[in-house]
Structure 1
């Protein structure tokens, strides 16, 4: 039996750029930088915009949002506006990638023809304060994934919607194909990653195995790469487990270094960037680089963009509680 293809046929993105935060007062914070949009954007309004751009058209919607009381009125408003009943995901930094994996599995199994995945997070004072108090945010104001001297993450705005459907898409050009997906938990600690990287390595291998793709066929890896001293080292260990000797040939960068960490929306933003890289054929640099770290022995893209040399791209994410996801993307 031939598997039903899972095509990306629509994509819409809103994101920010790094600058000192002006949306709320950070004068008593140790960190002061985030990747925000100008002014004080409205999350519900931006979600409605991106859903309109990709075309809901009565399609079921899977929605990744910050898991607090603010999500309820947003969900209710979107339901009323578009006539849908969104399935909501709130699983921290893998919320959106979990939604994509679920959507892809439903389409591949022939249980859905078209699904829309949307996600949104706008940097706000409460979460900023919590991350700052926990010393998770970069005090230097620069996110440096896998680099010597990295000192933490920076938050960022992201509102993204993506349409997935069985192909060929009627009247729509496909942007990419979701060729594989994998999920795995390690349960090592409530917020610290397993230093062995075993959970993320299992998720990566599951995505590759599902697609029938070998490590040498992956042309670039969009890493989780938050700039955390502990987290980046654990991720490097995971990549070594998953790719073995092939890791030395695999270009790696974390686009969080360019757009920040958008929490529940981050994985969907990074998937959107990965699809754009597939279209452009150029692998982006890992910004903020100061020099190699012995704990992160990776082929990090640092000097200039590189030409994509293999047909599949992998984007990975990890979250508190030991949740890990991997999404594999190929040409349509």
Structure 2
């Protein structure tokens, strides 16, 4: 069996709070951060609800001279990476030979929007000289590597809503191979720009009020923003330096539906979950909890439920399944990392976060979705699911330390 990879640092900023502790407190309480969309009152947007980061001032985290180089999604990535590194107890020399693998679904959309507004609306002949380095999809990984002195492999992955789970999986593979002993991995996204919101509006998958995953009256997803980052280490490396190990990535599973750009396939999702179990050498009966992709859309929820039943068979009825997107919204390329952190803390604390806003089970949704209230339970193994547009699936198996 492959040696599991240790998770030794956690960092998070989302609509639930600007730190891991604040995020976990809200998740444990079942408190949803979904509110009316703000900042676009003078537009024709029909987007009603959002899960936006609150009480955030860039100047509290960055010198004003640096902000010209930092798109909002890069800011979030750095805030979360700093917290993860501090949590792991790492110093700059520890990071030099490490890796930074960052996922994003959108990249620097704020920068794109500002640029196009100046060119096409204001008819300005010039744009900011740092438009390219600020808005490029790899900006976050570059900024993290520069700030933290990471000189090993550093790059960005993009697979829509599975981006950060794919980033974590890539980091795990690099550690297993011996390429690096330590990596920072996760994802960041900041999708609240007029043009991007109009594009999501056109897809007709956004809820007009809140996110009710797996419920009969669910009306769609609610967009969120933020970043989640984890420090990953080989188990040997973590033990050698006396690190506190939060949990283990015991397995990874990836697949592609190869069928439809927006309509998910339960078979593709099932292959990714089974691959994660096989990689971790776990029997289905050993898993107690699944942090579901759980978007609250008509398409995802019954498809994901069917995939879980396909993989877990009779044990599916004993599983606890919840969607934390009901509280922090769908943070796109950051979603998987935020949800991985929720899963890690669930294992550590012996507490299953609920599916908030749940009313009654929808058709094809017949599992235990931990409705509205968290549940105390000690357990050893969980899965965290991410299933993206384009049929790109990435599942992480997470286990308690022995």
Question: 1:4·1:109 contact (CA, 8 Å) conserved in 2?
Answer: no
* Cα distance per residue 1:199-240 (max 9 Å; x no partner): 110111111111111122111111001000111111111111
Say whether residues 1:190 and 2:261 are aligned partners: yes
Contact 1:3 1:109 in 2 (8 A): no
Measured against aligned partners, the alpha-carbon deviations of 1:65-97 in whole angstroms (never above 9, x if no partner) come to 234562354444444333446211111011110
Count of paired positions: 328
> Which residue in 1 is equivalent to 2:47?
31
**Which position in structure 2 is the counterpart of 1:104?**
172
Change (3 A) 1:68 1:122: closer
Equivalent residue in structure 1 for 2:73, among 18, 31, 43: 43
Q: Structure 1 stretches (4+) deviating beyond 6 angstroms? A: none
Range 106-115 or range 146-155, more displaced: 106-115
Equivalent in 195, 211, 235 of residue 143 of structure 1 = 211
Contact 2:37-2:47 within 8 A present in 1 as well: no
1:5 aligns with 2:1: no
- Long gaps (5+) in structure 1: none
Larger helix fraction of residues: 2
**2:355 and 2:373 in contact (8 A); partners too:** no
Within 1, Cα distance between the matches of 2:73 and 2:107? 14
Match of 1:22, SS state, is: coil
C-alpha distance in 2, partners of 1:315/1:74? 24
Larger Rg: 2
Q: How does 1:171-186 map to 2 (within 5 A)?
A: 171-186=242-257
1:91 to 119, 138, 159: 159
Q: Quick one: structure 1 residues 114 and 247, their matched pair in 2 at CA, closer, same or farther if it must change by over 3 Å?
A: same
Aligned residues of 2:101 and 2:141 also touching (Cα < 8 A): no
Alignment gaps of 5+ in structure 2: 16-32, 59-71, 86-91, 109-134
Contact 1:118/1:160 (<8 A) preserved? yes
- Aligned-partner SS, 2:340: helix
What RMSD in Å do the two structures reach over aligned CA positions? 1.9
SS of the residue corresponding to residue 273 of structure 1 reads helix
